Amino acid sequence: MITAIVLAGGVGKRMGMEIPKQFVMVNEKPIIIYTLESFDRHPKIDQVVVVCKQGWADTMWGYIREFGIKKVKWVISGGSIVQKSINNAVQFLSDKCVEDDIVVIHDGIRPLVDEHVLSDVIVKCQEYGNAVTSLPYNEQIFIKETEKTTNKYIDRNTLRRVSTPQAYKYEVLHDAYDEAISQNIGMVDSAYTNTMMVDLGHTLYFAAGSDKNIKLTTTDDLALFKAYLREKEL
Amino acid sequence: MITAIVLAGGVGKRMGMEIPKQFVMVNEKPIIIYTLESFDRHPKIDQVVVVCKQGWADTMWGYIREFGIKKVKWVISGGSIVQKSINNAVQFLSDKCVEDDIVVIHDGIRPLVDEHVLSDVIVKCQEYGNAVTSLPYNEQIFIKETEKTTNKYIDRNTLRRVSTPQAYKYEVLHDAYDEAISQNIGMVDSAYTNTMMVDLGHTLYFAAGSDKNIKLTTTDDLALFKAYLREKEL
């Protein structure tokens, strides 16, 4: 059994919009629905739980029905930060997953997740116990000296950028969140499952990423997404 | 006087193509021409030198004429690595720029450089003496343990990713390359002007970047670029 946790709890501050960015309409379809369609299409995904901003569950269910999304079984409420939202989902799944089940965690505002990216994260998780989508860098990475200046960089060949999807075995994930919550480890605003796992001493395994799998956080990203959709239609 | 150095010396290995990636045709126009059009359009740019892979200068001039590019005054040969290519251009400009002139360095395979990105790097360079286009991260950054695993990350709030365009005052740039070449500092394969400047002890100033200003290195990037062009046409 493979379950996906899809996070749809953001607020869209950086896009300067009044509705949460995952509900922004692109070609008359909310961004989150494009994401859920990717999971509906993937043959290995059995069921999906969507973690929503409080007060938006009815809207979410409305869209799920309107666009015929089949694999979403539950819509639950998120927390104040992304880590609390993921934890809510992990706790919620405690009577729905068994220890070796794979759980795939994904950002709702990454609608361009390819089938091969989802497949690789699942296959690698089966092999190694976990897997995180990752890519090398082709830009230089500098350490801020101040908000305006830098005088130090990091060799980009020593780094990889990790995004979602990420896959974990359910029991390990559940135990990790229990430990992290009780000891307040890896629960800051910029944290995610991957950083928390490392904080807890786990080693993570890289899976293949895709440059197309962008996170839609700015209006530039949104323009790229729209452009990409149009290209696909042709 | 503001001069741009546009680098067109890559080989396109990662796209699996036989011609250098900057010469890949998109809608019957080579990628490098889109980039040069951005410089032609920008009111502050006076002249451009293109650094080309050896043997491709005639092709480059052919395209410059065919597509009516106006500001390219010179096409010169690059070196074995990007830093040697930039150095060739910097040395070449020694009788064409004076000390306080601004030189803007840009990757030929970043065709989506916006007017406001070019403007900001120029304005900041006038104010601080140099400026590098940069953006914050919205992905997690992990340090490789092996090629397949990680057990450490870096707080992304402490970092910025720096790309091109970058702007420097000519004399500082020229002196920096002289020093770097003579002492073999900052001349490795993954180095660039920005990393070399930091290696030499300079502080760099951040200018505004744009998520759209992608480097076309993979076929995914190329798909995004094509998609974006189509969007602009509509």
Which of A86-95, B14-23, B141-150, B223-232 is least confident? B14-23
In this prediction, residue B26 carries a pLDDT of 93
Task: Look at residue A212 and tell me whether its pLDDT is greater than 80.
Answer: yes
Given pLDDT bands bounded at 50, 70 and 90, which one contains residue A205?
Answer: very high
In this prediction, residue B229 carries a pLDDT of 85
Of A150, A163, A195, the CB nearest to B206: A150
Asked if B90 contacts B78 with a C-beta cutoff of 8 angstroms, the reply is no
Chain A residues 180-199 with a CB less than 8 Å from chain B? 190, 192, 194-195, 198
Q: What is the pLDDT of residues B61-88, one digit of tens each?
A: 999 999 999 999 999 999 999 999 999 9
Of B140, B195, B203, the CB nearest to A195: B140
> Is A190 annotated among the ligand-binding residues?
no
Task: Look at residue B13 and tell me whether its pLDDT is greater than 90.
Answer: no
| DSSP output for A42-100 | -TT--EEEEEE-TT-HHHHHHHHHHTT--SEEEEEE--SSHHHHHHHHHHHGGGT--TT
Q: Answer yes or no: do B150 and A206 touch at CB < 8 A.
A: yes
In this prediction, residue A133 carries a pLDDT of 97
Q: CA-CA distance, A161 to B159, in Å (whole number)?
A: 12
Instruction: Please give the residue of chain A at the shortest CA–CA distance from B219.
Output: A211
> Is B80 annotated among the ligand-binding residues?
yes
Asked if A142 contacts A152 with a C-beta cutoff of 8 angstroms, the reply is yes
What's the mean per-residue pLDDT of chain A? 93
* High-pLDDT (> 70) share of chain A, %: 96
Q: CA-CA distance, B123 to B221, in Å (whole number)?
A: 29
Given pLDDT bands bounded at 50, 70 and 90, which one contains residue A4?
Answer: very high
Query: Tokens at residue A39, please?
Result: 């999971």
Q: CA-CA distance, B63 to A50, in Å (whole number)?
A: 51
**Residue B227 CA: distances (Å) to CA of A190, B111, B170:** 31, 13, 37
**Average pLDDT estimate for B122-151:** 95
Q: Answer yes or no: do B224 and A204 touch at CB < 8 A.
A: no
Of A138, A147, A206, the CB nearest to B148: A206
Q: CA-CA distance, B51 to B66, in Å (whole number)?
A: 19
Task: Look at residue A187 and tell me whether its pLDDT is greater than 70.
Answer: yes
Task: Look at residue A46 and tell me whether its pLDDT is greater than 60.
Answer: yes
Instruction: Please give the residue of chain B at the shortest CA–CA distance from A164.
Output: B139
> Is B223 annotated among the ligand-binding residues?
no
- Kind of pairing, strands A130-135 and A204-208? parallel
Measured between beta carbons, the chain A residues lying within 8 angstroms of B198 are: 142, 150-153
**Average pLDDT estimate for A148-173:** 96
| B146 shares contact with chain A (CB less than 8 Å) | no
Burial B77-94 (b: 16+ CB within 10 A, else e): bbbebbbebbbbbbebbe
**Average pLDDT estimate for A133-140:** 89
Q: Answer yes or no: do A142 and B150 touch at CB < 8 A.
A: no
Q: Which residue ranges form the domains of chain B, and what is each CATH number?
A: 2-233 (3.90.550.10)
Given pLDDT bands bounded at 50, 70 and 90, which one contains residue A13?
Answer: low
Task: Look at residue A178 and tell me whether its pLDDT is greater than 90.
Answer: yes
Measured between beta carbons, the chain A residues lying within 8 angstroms of B164 are: none
| B200 shares contact with chain A (CB less than 8 Å) | no
Task: Look at residue A17 and tell me whether its pLDDT is greater than 70.
Answer: no
| A114 shares contact with chain B (CB less than 8 Å) | no
Beta bridge partners of B105: B5, B166
* High-pLDDT (> 90) share of chain A, %: 78
Of A211, A224, A229, the CB nearest to B212: A224
Chain B residues 203-232 with a CB less than 8 Å from chain A? 203-206, 210-212, 214-215, 217-218, 220-221, 223-224, 226-232
Instruction: Please count the residues of chain A.
Output: 234
Measured between beta carbons, the chain A residues lying within 8 angstroms of B195 are: 140, 153
In this prediction, residue B20 carries a pLDDT of 81
A89 CA to chain B: closest CA distance, Å? 21
